Amino acid sequence: MGKRICEALNCLIEVLFPDKKFCLYCGKLEEYRFGLCNFCYAEVLKNKMTNKILRQYPLKVSFDEAYSVFRYEKMARDIIIKLKYKEKIELSLVIAYFMKELLDELNLKFDCIVPVPIFKSKKSKRGFNQALAIADNLSRLTFVPVLDCVEKIKNTKSQTLFNDFDRWYNVKEVFKCKKDLTGKTVLLVDDVFTTGATAHYVSCALKECNAKKVIVLTFAS
């Protein structure tokens, strides 16, 4: 279902059945939690990370902390695939709800939310940057502003084509920050965390612009 139709139907449903909405994942009309019906909500919880802080990297990394809500498997993976490749942009709201819950649980404080950028041609092909869509929704939930201040200045091959080690060379020196971030703690947001290479190099760009601290938050890893 298109986003507009979904929104319009949800408005109508709100009047008729105040507690019910369409699940943003499966479309079922039901009581609603984090944008999901009870079944989908319970299903995705099965992929929750037991240890939310990510610690293992092949190199010394430039970010200060990294967290992920889910393991990249089953429904958590499917949510990302539907968001990215099937243009179900409304799933970015589901992701933002879960991220907000984790931020509250860990009591993390930050001054701005920065999305991991994608290259211009990729953006025009896909129509949107999924990390920015997530950041915008997270900003609405946390009231912390989004700074879309990092640019991807070189196109790179998809990280999925490389093994863990080569991923670090594929995205080296391709990000540039356009804003001074002196004294700021940045929440760097992306859909997936794999080896940490992308997060590391974006974080390098943020620190070159004087960011005080970079906290990485992804939906799945």
- Where along the sequence are the contacts to Zn ion (CB under 5 A)? 23, 25-26, 28, 37, 40
The closest alpha carbon to 103, from 181, 185, 182, belongs to 185
Q: Minimum distance from CB of 43 to Zn ion (Å)?
A: 8
Q: Minimum distance from CB of 83 to Zn ion (Å)?
A: 15
Q: Minimum distance from CB of 28 to Zn ion (Å)?
A: 5
Q: Minimum distance from CB of 45 to Zn ion (Å)?
A: 13
Judged by beta carbon, residue 28 or residue 52, the one nearer Zn ion is: 28
- Distance, in Å, from the CA atom of 120 to the CA atom of 77, rounded to the nearest integer, reads 25
Q: Residue 149: how many CB atoms within 10 A of its CB? A: 19
Judged by beta carbon, residue 44 or residue 202, the one nearer Zn ion is: 44
In contact, 133 and 167? CB cutoff 8 Å: no
- Distance, in Å, from the CA atom of 45 to the CA atom of 70, rounded to the nearest integer, reads 8
Judged by beta carbon, residue 25 or residue 63, the one nearer Zn ion is: 25
Cα-Cα-Cα-Cα dihedral sign, residues 97, 98, 102, 105: positive
Strand 112-115 with 29-31, pairing: unpaired
Judged by beta carbon, residue 29 or residue 106, the one nearer Zn ion is: 29
